[in-house]
Amino acid sequence: MALVVDSFSPRGTSNVCGKGRNPTPHEVAGDAFGALAYLRSLPFVDRDRIGVMGWSYGAMAALAAASASFTKWAQPPGGGFRVAVPFYPSCSYVAHDTAIHVLLLLGEADDWTPPGQCVEAAKRLQQEGRTMLWTVYPGAHHGFDKSELGSRTVSVLGYTLRYDPVATADAEKRIRAFLAQYLRRAP
């Protein structure tokens, strides 16, 4: 089951690219915590097996939601998310106190949010014993999972977006394995 959170429309915004930060990634993470509280209120949802995913700006919010210091004041009763899966984020939002399992999916040719900062942050956190996994897809650009692009290469604000079906298929496989491992029921 998935719940898609719209952080933009209620704030009168449809796009944050090149327009400032309204809402901020932390506000979007707060919205995700609101969705988490809602999901936990549903009788058919396993309240202890909920993760957060985000793409680009939403991926930065997913990284914010993974931070222990942020979640300390923002998370609903019952705790925060168990896992986060950010697609091609700006990794300035990777916190030194990341508290949940994270799978980063990154494009090697991403000129909007290059993967280097993410890989370095993930390596550092992994050395500290945190579950920070990442995959950098060779030749993949920002939006590599956007099948609606077809075979077109699109420029947005001077950055390249291009669909990569091979990277997308691999990302789907990795997400399934990651969720199976880190969201499994406790014995």
- Extract the tokens encoding 102: 């994270």
How far apart CA 132 and CA 65 sit, in angstroms, is 14
Each domain of the chain, given as residue ranges in start order, spans: 9-182
Q: Judging by beta carbons within 10 Å of its beta carbon (0-12, 13-18, 19+), is residue 159 exposed, middle or buried? A: middle
Q: Where are the alpha helices (DSSP H) in 9-87?
A: 25-41, 57-65, 68-74
CATH class of the domain comprising 9-182: alpha beta
**Which residue in the block uniquely carries the two structure tokens 């280097």?**
116
Pairing state between β 101-107 and 83-87: parallel
The model's pTM? 0.93
pLDDT tens per residue, the chain (187 residues)?
Answer: 889 999 988 888 888 876 666 798 989 999 999 999 999 999 999 988 999 999 999 999 999 999 988 877 777 777 889 999 999 999 888 888 898 999 999 999 999 999 999 999 999 999 999 999 999 999 999 999 999 999 999 999 999 999 999 999 999 999 999 999 999 876 5
